[in-house]
């Protein structure tokens, strides 16, 4: 039986959890280590932590925080934020993370992805591709920390990252981020149909039906979300949560 991984994506700012909407209007959620403890109790498949200010501040995600997460987490976890050297990857993996997530630097130096995958293996290297429509309604890769579009079209960049040795791609719709109105199926499907490495959907999930919809209509192997796992109810009260076992079982299927 096969089912997709269900992955909470947690944003870090000044070592605290925050959540955004369309990469703006960040609000405080709580303590990351406390969230890890709760997700342990829920038996979450995997966690992703992204330090959203690391690149702009010309630093990487704090290693001490990665170590604390590693000491507490019962599940695999990946971290991203300012990753731009082989030594940084080494330090993060030694601190306890299973994977690193590379975002902005992959657009600046795609060859770095090849170097990293050759040193640490493709399964260790995840690329997060942020995608946003430009003024002409065309999807473009977007570097959120610098608030600018890149020269890449999403499908072309996804193919390039696969060619360079990335083991997995996270596709995030900036326009859907934090809206809890559902994934951008069109975007994610277009990527998943054009690469052979695992693709994780991110951006817009608000309920279990959104996860089921993207899984039924695309070839993704991971279902990631932020708001869905930290908010509850119409008023978006802060409450760490995760799908019930009976809901997760709906995704099981034979392969």
- Determine contact, residues 189/217, Cβ cutoff 8 Å: yes
With both helix axes pointing from N to C terminus, report the angle between 110-120 and 154-164 in degrees, rounded to the nearest 10: 40
- Cα angle value 199/227/191 (rounded, 5°): 20
Structure letter (DSSP) for residue 179: T
- Determine contact, residues 30/68, Cβ cutoff 8 Å: no
Which are the catalytic amino acids? 130
Structure tokens given for 242: 């995760």
Cite the DSSP H helix spans in 121-203. 154-164, 185-192
SS3 230: helix
Cite the DSSP H helix spans in 43-85. 63-72
Q: How far apart are CA 187 and CA 208, in angstroms?
A: 20
């Amino acid at each position: 039986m096969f089912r997709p991984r269900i992955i909470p994506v947690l944003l870090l700012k000044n070592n605290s959890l925050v959540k955004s909407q369309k990469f703006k209007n960040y609000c405080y959620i709580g303590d990351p280590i406390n969230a890890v403890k709760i997700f342990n109790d829920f038996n979450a498949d995997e966690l992703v932590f992204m330090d959203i200010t690391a690149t702009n501040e010309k630093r990487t995600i704090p290693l001490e925080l990665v170590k604390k997460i590693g000491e507490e987490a019962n599940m695999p976890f990946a971290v991203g934020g300012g990753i731009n050297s082989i030594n940084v990857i080494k330090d993060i993996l030694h601190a306890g993370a299973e994977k690193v997530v590379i975002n902005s630097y992959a657009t600046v130096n795609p060859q770095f992805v090849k170097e990293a995958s050759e040193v640490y293996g493709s399964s260790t290297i995840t690329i997060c591709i942020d995608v946003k429509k430009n003024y002409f309604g065309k999807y473009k890769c977007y570097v959120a920390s610098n608030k600018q579009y890149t020269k890449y079209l999403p499908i072309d960049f996804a193919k390039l990252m696969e060619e360079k040795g990335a083991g997995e791609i996270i596709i995030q719709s900036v326009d859907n981020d934090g809206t809890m109105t559902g994934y951008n199926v069109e975007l994610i499907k277009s990527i998943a149909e054009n690469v052979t490495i695992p693709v994780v959907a991110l951006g817009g999930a608000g309920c279990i039906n959104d996860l089921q919809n993207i899984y039924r209509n695309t070839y993704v192997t991971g279902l990631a979300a932020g708001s869905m796992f930290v908010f509850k109810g119409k008023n978006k009260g802060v409450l760490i949560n995760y799908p019930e076992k009976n809901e997760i079982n709906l995704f099981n299927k034979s392969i």
